[in-house]
Amino acid sequence: GAVVSQHPSWVICKSGTSVKIECRSLDFQATTMFWYRQFPKQSLMLMATSNEGSKATYEQGVEKDKFLINHASLTLSTLTVTSAHPEDSSFYICSGLRATNEKLFFGSGTQLSVL
Amino acid sequence: KQEVTQIPAALSVPEGENLVLNCSFTDSAIYNLQWFRQDPGKGLTSLLLIQSSQREQTSGRLNASLDKSSGRSTLYIAASQPGDSATYLCAVHNNDMRFGAGTRLTVKP
């Protein structure tokens, strides 16, 4: 089956640093990538939608200058958390939409802890 | 390694019927379990979140139960409507998040 590889699976960083999370669709082309986050004891929430080659669309309340999304190719999307703060500590997960059958495939997530 | 299975893979019902979707998982050491719906070409919409200490959650016509010891969750949809037609996914969260393959629901008017 189709696979989305997400790295790193966990990261600890100091406040003020930037962290990049990478998602690759290994055996299909993801025309659309979705990025989600989940705070403790809360539901997974959509952060942004990105289509290959165009700017991401952010959900209300998500700062686009803080969460930089790059979807430069049909197999790679990255989320960079810039100047991370402790309140950005969360579980981040990506999913790729396979255009051929409109199915979603998920990375396994990244647990970010900002000290 | 956690495995999540959803049954049935597809379901077609007439409008008004009550229905149950099933989700099973192999590792009971979970933080929480969530149910989502996915509309064609769109991302996920969160429906219900059940923490590991909880047994069920309700929202409107939806009720989700969790039995950790048996590794099962069910999503009950009452009085189904054509607008409920979508793919429903469950996901379990421990150190990572694992999704089932989904149940594609069609509610016929």
Q: Choose among A97, A106, A109: nearest Cβ to B41.
A: A97
From chain A, the residues in CB contact with B97 under 8 A are 38, 44, 91, 93, 106, 108-109
Q: Which residue of A has its CA nearest to B34?
A: A43
Reduce the DSSP state of residue B15 to 3 states and report it: coil
pLDDT tens digits in sequence order for chain B, 109 residues long? 889 999 999 999 999 999 999 999 999 999 999 999 998 878 888 899 999 999 999 999 999 999 999 999 999 999 999 999 999 999 998 878 889 999 999 999 9
From chain B, the residues in CB contact with A9 under 8 A are 95-96
Tell me which of B95 and A39 has the higher pLDDT. A39
From chain A, the residues in CB contact with B36 under 8 A are 44
| CB contact at 8 A, B6 and B64 | no
- Give the best-scoring range by mean pLDDT among A67-76, A96-105, B8-17: B8-17
Across the interface, do A108 and B93 touch by the CB < 8 Å criterion? no
Give the pLDDT confidence score for residue B59 in this predicted structure: 95
From chain A, the residues in CB contact with B34 under 8 A are 43-44
The Cα-based distances of A21 to A36, A69, A111 in angstroms read 12, 10, 10
pLDDT at A1 over 70: no
- CA proximity to B50, closest of B67, B29, B26, B70: B67
Across the interface, do B97 and A109 touch by the CB < 8 Å criterion? yes
pLDDT at A8 over 80: yes
Cis amide leading into B8 (omega within 30): yes
pLDDT at A42 over 90: no
Angle at B17 between CA B11 and CA B21, to 5 degrees: 40
Give the pLDDT confidence score for residue B40 in this predicted structure: 82
Give the pLDDT confidence score for residue B23 in this predicted structure: 98
Q: Choose among A44, A91, A102: nearest Cβ to B44.
A: A44
Q: Match 């004891």 to its residue by tokens.
A: A41
CA-based nearest distance B30→chain A, Å? 12
Per-residue tokens: B78: 């009452």
- How many percent of chain A have pLDDT more than 70? 98
